[in-house]
Structure 1
Amino acid sequence: MAQRVDTPLDVGGNRPWALGVPRDEQQAAQALFFEGNERLRESVFVEATRNYRRALRHWNHPAIHYNLALALMNLDQPIEVYKHLKAAVGHGPEPLDSGRYEHARSYNALLEKQLAWVDVKCDEEGAIVTLNGQSLFKAPGRYQAFIRPGVHSIVAFKDGYLPTEKRQPLMPGEKAELDLELYTEDEVIRYRRQWAAWIPWTVLGAGLAAAGGGGVLHWKANGSFRDFDSRIPPGGRQMTPELEGLRRTGSRLQAGAVGAYSLGGAAVVTGTVLLYLNRQRAYRINPAEQGPTMVIAPAVDAESKGVVGTVLF
């Protein structure tokens, strides 16, 4: 671990980092700074960070940021370490010394290779954007920050719109630029059928027509049998060619009616099943491939002056 800053904080000086800070606030910060140093020396890192954070509320001094970063290194908080080391070097080497200044720059350069960077933007008025379930901002807005490598879920949602989610594995040192757009159901939901809509109706119609034809044949067969019966007296009579013709005609028509009923019934059942199978099914489209895309690029380097973990409105 690099050597912590143990020297006093130059209370009452006129350095740039002291401008506008009342002397009593500087003294309160220095007292908490020394307490944090004691806890850091004893390796009580949680207490040390608590003292340093309290000190920063009194005085935003680079040395306090530096020692806080040293404590956070032992608590597995690399993003916080980066943020405070960035603040520590903001006024150059003077408030630290050249050795600690170079150590801070080198360590941040290493963190930039170990962390991933996200740049999330959404322009849909009123949309809520979340990262791994945690709210980032209410659109329109933008969020830029380092995050740990791994799979992250970024979601934008708003009443009346379908949620937009992007899940992407991020590797160390990679940069993700994400522009989230929201769409209504009408914009992205389409409906389709397995076959043309007319096919099941045609089968069903053919079945009904066949069944109707069977009814006509049945009616004619009954007519032939009634004519046959009307020509036979109660006492009976000998079969004549004319009577035989009526009987055969009735039988043929009756057989045709049964066949038409069977064919029509099967077609009606088939058409009904096809109508059910051919009902409209919803599916989601990607509107002209305009959906959010993840752009992977090298992370910003140690010389960049970007702001870490800020939300811009």
Structure 2
Amino acid sequence: MHARITILLGLFCWFGQIAPVAAQEKLDLPDAKPKANAQGVTVVTQNIVLPTQTQNYEDVTPKAEAEKARALFTEANAKFEDRQLPEALELYQQAYAMWPHPRILFNMGVTMAMMSRPLEAANMFKIVLEFGPDPVEMHRYKEAQEKYLELMGTLSVLTMKCTQEGTKIYVDGGLLAMCPFQKSVTLTGGRHLVTANQDGYIPLSEDIFLPPGVVAEKSAQLNKFE
């Protein structure tokens, strides 16, 4: 099943100006309502919390680099308007590498959402929100909040906990961290594989199921070989 959500395609244009909001686009995203029970995890809540400001943006980019980034940014917007989304995203990424401005991240998030890449798009909006409203202006900040919540309705947050020193925890084959730690990771709703290992201990390999739109947690503890 899929849910159709509306993403307003309001892009930043030239810095200091805002491009008009384009026609609303309907995106096919996985249904945000849980259709199956969680497996292998404990659901803490079905309420996704908005990120809050954790840092201030300080523009230290040299003027010459910023001007090059502006040119790439403008070219990216033109590609986006022509619905050449992969090309637009690549240009936004090039611009951001020169000038790491939250406004560029905002447009990257919109583009990724249009490309049906909700996890990456949500991460872009998360960073925008963590810089607070000043770099992107309040009305765009509120749009970023709305987009983040819409996208997170199709995703899940998993908090892994481990106190066993030296144990390595992996999610879907990627190293999450070495214990002891408590760490949250955003994942697509659905099935995932949690593994853990440490010399002298019985390895762990467990399939889990995360319903979309939930915050869940899981603890890991290995047993020693006898």
1:160 counterpart SS class = coil
**Contact persistence 2:14–2:70 (CA under 8 A):** no
In the TM superposition, residue 140 of structure 1 has moved relative to its aligned partner by 3.5
**Aligned counterpart, 2:125:** 85
Deviates more, 1:19-28 or 1:45-54: 19-28
Alignment of 1:24-35 (within 5 A): 24-35=64-75
Residue 73 of structure 2 aligns with an amino acid whose one-letter code is F
Residue 154 of structure 1 aligns with an amino acid whose one-letter code is V
Rounded Cα–Cα distance in structure 2 between residues aligned with 1:139 and 1:28: 44
**Aligned counterpart, 1:6:** 13
**Aligned counterpart, 2:38:** none
Q: Which one of the candidate residues 134, 140, 145 is aligned to 2:185?
A: 145
Q: Which one of the candidate residues 119, 136, 159 is aligned to 1:96?
A: 136
Q: Structure 2 unaligned segments of length 5 or more: list them.
A: 1-7, 18-55
Q: Which one of the candidate residues 53, 58, 61 is aligned to 2:101?
A: 61
Rounded Cα–Cα distance in structure 1 between residues aligned with 2:134 and 2:180: 40
Rounded Cα–Cα distance in structure 1 between residues aligned with 2:15 and 2:142: 20
Alignment of 1:293-308 (within 5 A): none
Q: Does 1:105 align with 2:145?
A: yes
Residue 126 of structure 2 aligns with an amino acid whose one-letter code is K
In the TM superposition, residue 41 of structure 1 has moved relative to its aligned partner by 1.5
**TM-score, normalized by length of structure 1?**
0.52
Structure with the greater relative contact order (CA < 8 A, sep ≥ 6): 1 or 2? 2
Q: Which one of the candidate residues 82, 92, 103 is aligned to 1:52?
A: 92
Higher helix fraction (1 or 2)? 1
Rounded Cα–Cα distance in structure 2 between residues aligned with 1:143 and 1:46: 32
**Contact persistence 2:169–2:179 (CA under 8 A):** yes
Cα offsets for 1:161-207 (capped at 9, x unmatched):
11123322111222221221111122xxxxxxxxxxxxxxxxxxxxx
**Cα distance change of structure 1 residues 124 and 92 upon mapping to structure 2, 3 Å threshold:** closer
Rounded Cα–Cα distance in structure 1 between residues aligned with 2:132 and 2:181: 31
**Cα distance change of structure 1 residues 126 and 35 upon mapping to structure 2, 3 Å threshold:** farther
Alignment of 1:251-270 (within 5 A): none
Q: Structure 1 unaligned segments of length 5 or more: list them.
A: 11-15, 187-313
Rounded Cα–Cα distance in structure 2 between residues aligned with 1:92 and 1:140: 31
Alignment of 1:157-236 (within 5 A): 157-186=197-226
**Aligned counterpart, 2:46:** none
Cα offsets for 1:77-103 (capped at 9, x unmatched):
111111111222344444434432222
In the TM superposition, residue 120 of structure 1 has moved relative to its aligned partner by 1.3
Identity of aligned residues (%): 27
**Aligned counterpart, 2:161:** 121
Deviates more, 1:29-38 or 1:90-99: 90-99
In the TM superposition, residue 73 of structure 1 has moved relative to its aligned partner by 0.9
In the TM superposition, residue 118 of structure 1 has moved relative to its aligned partner by 0.5
1:185 counterpart SS class = coil
Cα offsets for 1:132-184 (capped at 9, x unmatched):
22222333344312111112111111222111233221112222212211111
Quote the RMSD (CA, aligned, Å). 2.2
Paired residue total = 181
Rounded Cα–Cα distance in structure 2 between residues aligned with 1:35 and 1:140: 46
Rounded Cα–Cα distance in structure 2 between residues aligned with 1:170 and 1:91: 29
**Cα distance change of structure 1 residues 65 and 73 upon mapping to structure 2, 3 Å threshold:** same
In the TM superposition, residue 4 of structure 1 has moved relative to its aligned partner by 0.8
**Contact persistence 1:125–1:140 (CA under 8 A):** yes
1:20 counterpart SS class = coil
